[in-house]
Structure 1
Amino acid sequence: MYLKGIFCEVLARQAYYAAALSPHVVDVELVNKGLHDTPEVLRADLQRRLNAIERDRYDAVLLGYGLCSNSIVGLVCPHTRMVVPRAHDCITLYLGSKERYADEFRATPGTYWYTADYIERSRDDDGRVALGAAGEKDMSVVYQEYVEKYGRDNADYLMEVMGAWRAHYSRAAYIEAEEMPLPDYVAQVQEQAARRGWVFEKLAGSIIILRDLIEGRWDDERFLIVSPRRTLVPTYDARIIREADSPEG
């Protein structure tokens, strides 16, 4: 098969690695992770990329995204089927299954997630080096503003007084894929965890979802196949997403 993959850049290493091993021809396209901050902007960018795909060039378009604050809801590929992982966000893609992510969340909901890819791709933006939802990012923005205004030591003190970090989070989890060695940022994450009074934990991850996405193993339990000119919507249950009619028909 000839496949087009559109991936968030925080999955760059995994996407290229899986594409290199895939029996199919895969064109990989990366999207700036900063677009996650504004879901409607990310959705518009992804739709623009889908509209730009040539007719009859690919057998399928692969989306390397989870639901991601509904950023992928409403997307339509005009003439090629889309294949999308059943995931709330990219943490599922790092851990290897939505079930494992659910188990981790139930056990320790106050977790700040770190991966080598996300840390590397955060060096030139606002300094946020952890994965997570909008609320987590907002807290990081506050911290960065304090650093810029008052210096790092004073920023740490202010956040300590506010209790903003400890009120919501208790664990820093560093996910490391077992299938592929990556640069080690454990010491950096341990330092951040110690500064904020969090427990540090290193978790074994898996790129099996991305491998199977790129290698064409699309079982219905883990992937949704969306027909051309149709869209996807959230299900608010374990399936996460389903196919639906597009408003444009």
Structure 2
Amino acid sequence: MNAKIFACNTIADEIQKVLPAGMSCELLPYALHREPRKLKLELQARIDADQDHDTLLFGYGLCSNGVVNLHSKVHTLVIPRVHDCISILLGSRKIYQQEFDKCPGTIYLNKGWIDQGGEPRAEFLKYSAKYGEENARYIIETEYNHYKRLVFIDTGVGDYASLVEHSKQVAKFMGATFEERESTCQLLKRLVTGEWDKDFVVIPPRMMVTQESFF
């Protein structure tokens, strides 16, 4: 397998942790997850530009259909059969579903999401600078009012103590309970080592990724 992986910046450290020696990796801006159409166009452009690999791996899930219709004439495309990066970080779709069943209104953080400012307290500070504190608080409360729990996913990267403390402060800011989950990044390991089973969508050349592929 001559493979390359494309992944979101939010899981950059986890990718580096499991990446086999010699495997190429390209990281994409985390903000693309908010604009699935742009994500799709960016990924397709990178697929079309690649002439050096026969297999392209994706550190993404379905991501609001951001991977639907991806295709290649020459590459095999491999994507974890999950909805988003949270399942990837937790280790499986099954683990995510168990957590969802416990508390649907949960925000998950890892080192990448914290580094990228992708959490309520960081967003509040950005909104405050732009719209004023009162308006910022209204925006945050509107966006996050149904979230009751924050889970920090410890994937063994970064400064554990500072990441946990940061996550606790975000939970306090939200008025949410705080929990931790440990992950060994098994889904990512299997993605990059070619251990693809029913947990992965494998699309051969001249075929297209569909939404149905993930169900």
Instruction: Name the TM-score, length of structure 2 as normaliser.
Output: 0.89
Pairwise CA distance, 1:73: 0.2
1:55-104 residue CA offsets vs partner (Å, 9 max, x unmatched): xx323111111000000000012211111110100000000010110111
The residue number in structure 1 matching 2:119 is 129
The residue number in structure 1 matching 2:8 is 8
Corresponding position: 1:223 with 2:200 = yes
- Select the residue among 48, 55, 69 that pairs with 2:45: 48
Q: How many residues align?
A: 213
In 1, Cα distance between equivalents of 2:202 and 2:142: 41
- Structure having the higher helix fraction is 2
Q: State the secondary structure of the residue aligned to 1:172.
A: strand
In 1, Cα distance between equivalents of 2:147 and 2:119: 15
Pairwise CA distance, 1:233: 1.1
- Select the residue among 131, 141, 164 that pairs with 1:149: 131
In 1, Cα distance between equivalents of 2:80 and 2:131: 41
Q: State the secondary structure of the residue aligned to 1:72.
A: coil
Q: State the secondary structure of the residue aligned to 2:108.
A: strand
Contact 1:36 1:42 in 2 (8 A): yes
The residue number in structure 2 matching 1:136 is none
Contact 1:147 1:155 in 2 (8 A): no
Provide structure 2 residue ranges, at least 5 long, that are not aligned to the other structure: none
Contact 2:32 2:38 in 1 (8 A): yes
- Select the residue among 181, 186, 196 that pairs with 2:174: 196
1:15-44 residue CA offsets vs partner (Å, 9 max, x unmatched): 122114x6xx41111111111121111100
Q: 1:163 to 1:44 in 2, by over 3 A?
A: closer
* Structure 2 letter corresponding to 1:52: A
- Alignment RMSD (CA, Å): 2.4
The residue number in structure 2 matching 1:75 is 70
Percentage of matched positions with identical amino acids: 28
The residue number in structure 1 matching 2:214 is 240
Contact 1:85 1:222 in 2 (8 A): yes
In 1, Cα distance between equivalents of 2:118 and 2:60: 19
